[in-house]
Amino acid sequence: MNNEKNQSNLKQTELSIELKNLFDSAKIASENAYSPYSHFKVGAAILCKNGKQFTGCNIENASFGGTICAERVAICKAVSENEKEFTAIAVYVQSEKLFPPCGMCRQFMVEFSTDMIVIYGNEQYLEISNIGELLPESFKL
C-alpha cells in the first residue's frame, strides 16, 4: 500500500480538525436534501481559501434532468458570492454504501481547482482524495 492509499478509508477521527468540520457541515446539509424521487440524501460543503464555507444539498425535480447534485449547489452558492478559490470539498451521503462524486460534479470542481481535496463518506467511513486523482486528464479550455 502506498502513502496515498494509506490515506484512504480513514476513520472520521483521523481527519484534521478543519476537514472534520467541513465533513460535519456536509452531513448537516444532507438533512436539507430535496429528494422525493431517489430518497438519496446528499450534503456537500466547500471550503474557500479564505476559510469561508458554503454548503449544498441535492435538489431533485419531477423533470429528472433538472435535478442538481449537492456538490454543484455548494459550488454555485460560493461562486455567486464571488468566492472562486477552493481548497477542499466534503460530500456526505446518507447511505450505507460509499459513493464518490458524479462525473458532472468532478468537471464542475476542476473548473475552479485542479488540486482541490475531495472527501466523501457516510456515517462509518470516508475517503480522502483530490480532484486530480478523481478526474485525470480533465477537459479545460
Residues designated catalytic: 71
The distance of closest approach from Cβ of residue 135 to ligand THU in the complex, given in angstroms and rounded to an integer, is 12
Residue 61 binding ligand THU, by CB under 6 A: no
The distance of closest approach from Cβ of residue 2 to ligand THU in the complex, given in angstroms and rounded to an integer, is 26
Question: Over the chain, what HEC string results?
Answer: CCHHHHCCCECHHHCCHHHHHHHHHHHHHHCCCECCCCCCCEEEEEEECCCCEEEEECECCCCHHHCECHHHHHHHHHHHCCCCCEEEEEEEECCCCCCCCCHHHHHHHHCCCCCCEEEEECCCCEEEEEHHHHCCCCCCC
The distance of closest approach from Cβ of residue 122 to ligand THU in the complex, given in angstroms and rounded to an integer, is 13
- Within residues 22-41, the interface with ligand THU by CB under 6 A covers 35, 38, 40
List of residues contacting ligand THU (CB under 6 A): 35, 38, 40, 42, 58, 60, 67, 69-71, 101-102, 105
